Structure 1
Amino acid sequence: MNYILFDGPARNALLPFTFTRPVAEIRVGILTIREKWEKHLGFTTSTVTENYLSDKFPMVEFEDNIMINASYLPTPKLVTQIKDLQPGQAIFNKDIPVAFYTKEGTAVDFEFYKIIQSETAPEHTIKHTWDIFTNNPGEIEADFDLLTKDKNSQELSSDNIIIGEHQVFIEDGAKVKVSILNTTEGPIYIGKNAEVMEGSMIRGPFALCGHATVKMGAKIYSGTTIGPYAKVGGEVSNSVIFGYSNKGHDGFLGNSVIGEWCNLGADTNTSNLKNNYASVRLWNYETGNFAKTGLQFCGLMMGDHSKCGINTMFNTGTVVGVSANIFGGGFPRNFIPSYSWGGSGGFTTYLTKKAFEVANVVMKRRNLEFTKQEEAILEQVFEQTQSWRKGYE
């Protein structure tokens, strides 16, 4: 069977992260949504996404295909339902399609489908940006079981202190030295060739993905994921940091999601709780306004390739787009459009030529190439986000 993950109606609600990736490439827990589905299904998958992303994330169609809404996370029950689908059958969650069986080149008309209802719990869906960090503790545990089943952990050095009954799993090549690992609330996963430097204090559930680094003396609270090749120091709580991003120094990051190739300058701090303890509102790209999240704790949402200078302070519930560069004193505003350059004193447009020069240098440092394909995607993001920069000179 051929499985295809499609973005679905949640795609716009997951901006700015879906400016540069399909929904399936969002990381929550240890794995991306795509990696979860492929492990559960036992097959590789392809993607239906925005046209400008399809060169990098193409769709592969066979004669028989099952389409899966990528904002839904796999559970054993849902996986079984999907594997059992027959031609002309679809699984819905209320009025939203979760999965359906289709033939190559055949138009989809759900009026003629046999509908199977699935009561998917909220903790198994990613329909808003904040769902990434709110669902992260449970997804770390689910992915931990998936990845460590029938495997043996590498031995943990005796100079570490372990507290709690949950497991610490160390993949090949990983190093953990002179640190305190508290598994009382959940497991701790240390990926291949990752490193936890001395003096770190970590509470599970926690995931450090392959080749990532926790720097000396870091304080990491429950529900945090550090993506592949990322580097993190200071204090982090219930946050997801995608691959290749750096928060290398002191400063607090809480209830936040940071995209790929981001850098938070030394002593950057995010507020995750309003002074009046009110519900946090976040910028909504669909309505062009701020909308309630229903959360008391919500910090920073930062799109790919964005950077901030030392001592940057982010207000509660700040959304930063793609390729923004933020610096200077004071609090910048709560919504910073893509390709913005500046801070609390105001912004100008960050021209693509300069932004791409930086991206090229940053990626070269990790022995990766800033390709024409990546450049084309970021050009499209620049064009799509011009309206938010209307007031810039």
Structure 2
Amino acid sequence: MSDARLYLFDDDTARGFEPFARTGPVGELLFGALRQRERAERVLGLVCAGHLVGADLAGLSEPGAPGCLVPDEVDDARPRVLLNSRVVPDDHQGSADLDPSSPARLTVDGRHAGWVLPAGVPLPADPGATEAGPTDAPERALPGRWIDHVWTLMHEGPERTAADIPAYFPESRFVLTEGVHAEGTDRISLGRDVAVEPGVVLDARRGPIRLGDGVVVRAFTRIEGPFFAARGARLLGGSFAATSVGPHCRVRGEVESSTLLALVNKAHDGFLGHAYVGRWVNLGALTTNSDLKNNYGTVRVWTPAGRTDTGLVKVGCFLGDHVKTGIGTLLPTGCVVGAGSNVFGSGLAPAYVPPFSWGGPQGLDVYDLERFLQTTERAMARRDVRLDEGTRRALARAWEASRAEREAPGA
């Protein structure tokens, strides 16, 4: 399979995974200790060459990740494996040994999941349609499951982390600094150049803990497994439990049963519970979300199809990429904040904030596109990342495509 290339595609369901899908591919969302793309690469033994997500995201790039492509950019001179980005392959044994010389229709749990396309076979117009590929392709079943709702990424993230760490990050040899208190050390895995200061508690009795390369843990931090922190994350004090922290995040306060994607800045106190937080989010000091209704009922959340009952009692917030909150922002149970929004003001924020909005409890206005892009460019430069033209254009298309949501009655 070394000559074959992997491509992840978003189907219509994945494109509805708001508030994240408008500004990024679902294949780059973190589930447990791996992004969907990383998991597929490991299980299939292939390198992902790109995400097929539609023209609106074409040209968008993320540090350390393959870009978003249109079909014409896919090289059909090589064998290709197309896999739905919502598939969670469950084979922890490594490569699935697909034969790239013969076409095949991939299924997971009895549902169409993608294609194996030998060199020269045209790319299906719709990889998610069973009738779009080679008509004579035999079926090949892969072990795994599906993510059917965006809140699954939050709700089942800790369980997935508990399974991922021993499978992909086995026990490592390390010596903890004197003054670090550890329970269940046989379930703690540390990468290279990890710095854990005295006064830190690592409690792996309820689940494994993985601290990736270059992670820094400041004094007076308590970590309870299952817990994952990716490379370069900085844990600045507080209590963290059942949480996945993406690369180069800065996190402080109380965080429970949550997932933070890359480059999130939560460097101050405040509670974040049962939340899923996008890339480049900046949470002002004491930003706090509610994750439980006072009648202990199930939580309804906004989706592109309308408000939907999650069936879950604990649901915090879903914050899209580039969201910013002001000091002391309060987010209600099941809050959804669209990408690029700036939320501030006293009182509870709206339960749904459309993408690229400016305001809070006292009312929402439109976040001017040029001002948003200028701020985004400055924020990224602070982390030595450049806002390239492809990403700039993709964000501008997302701003324009969400205009109707901002102008809808009640928005």
TM-score by length of 2: 0.87
For residue 24 of structure 2, what is the aligned residue in structure 1? 21
Map 1:232-271 to 2 at 5 A.
Answer: 232-271=251-290
CA distance in 2 between counterparts of 1:362 and 1:243 reads 13
1:61 aligns with: 75
Q: Does 1:352 align with 2:373?
A: no
Give the conservation status (yes or no) of the 8 Å contact 1:194–1:208.
yes
1:169 aligns with 2:189: yes
Contact 2:89 2:142 in 1 (8 A): no
Note if contact 1:13-1:127 (Cα within 8 Å) is conserved in structure 2: no
Unaligned runs of 5+ in 1: none
Distance 1:263 1:167, change over 3 A: same
How far apart are 1:42 and its partner, in Å? 2.5
1:49 pairs with one of 49, 53, 56: 53
Describe the SS at the equivalent of 1:233.
Answer: strand
Paired residue total: 385
Q: Which residue identity does 1:267 align to in structure 2?
A: L
Relative to structure 1, is the Cα distance of residues 276 and 3 closer, same or farther in structure 2, using a 3 angstrom cutoff? same
> Counterpart of 1:338 in 2: which secondary structure?
coil
Describe the shift of the 1:206–1:268 C-alpha distance in structure 2 as closer, same or farther (beyond 3 A).
same
RMSD: 2.3
28-37 vs 299-308, which deviates more? 28-37
Gaps of 5+ in 2: 61-66, 125-131
Q: Which residue of 2 aligns with 1:115?
A: 139
SS of aligned partner of 2:16: helix
Q: Which one of the candidate residues 80, 100, 104 is aligned to 1:89? A: 104
Rounded Cα–Cα distance in structure 1 between residues aligned with 2:346 and 2:186: 43
Question: Are the aligned partners of 2:201 and 2:221 in contact in 1 as well (CA < 8 Å)?
Answer: yes
Task: Specify the alignment match of 1:296 in structure 2.
Answer: 313
Shift of 1:88: 4.1
Report the counterpart of residue 179 of structure 1 in structure 2: 200
Post-superposition CA distance 1:178-218 (Å, at most 9, x none) = 211110111111111111110111100101111111112x1
Correspondences of 1:1-393 after superposition (within 5 Å): 1-46=4-49, 47-56=51-60, 57=67, 58=69, 60-62=74-76, 63-76=78-91, 83=98, 87-93=102-108, 96-103=111-118, 104-105=121-122, 107=124, 108-109=132-133, 112-116=136-140, 120=144, 124-149=145-170, 152-164=172-184, 166-177=186-197, 178-216=199-237, 218-222=238-242, 224-285=243-304, 287=305, 289-390=306-407
Tell me which amino acid in the other structure corresponds to 2:188: V
Say if 1:382 and 1:132 are closer, same or farther in 2 by CA, change over 3 A: same
Q: CA deviation at 1:75?
A: 1.4
* Residues in 1 aligned to 2:328 and 2:367: alpha-carbon distance in whole angstroms: 21
Q: Is this contact kept in 1: 2:88–2:146, CA < 8 A?
A: yes
Q: Deviations over 1:319-377 (max 9, x none)?
A: 11111001011112111001100010101100011111111111111111122122111
User: Cα distance, 1:83 vs. partner?
Assistant: 2.0
* 1:264/1:307 contact within 8 Å kept: yes
How much has 1:240 moved relative to structure 2?
0.5
Q: TM-score, normalised by structure 1?
A: 0.91
Q: What is the identity percentage for the equivalent residue pairs of Structure 1 and Structure 2? A: 28
Q: 1:119 to 1:27 in 2, by over 3 A?
A: closer
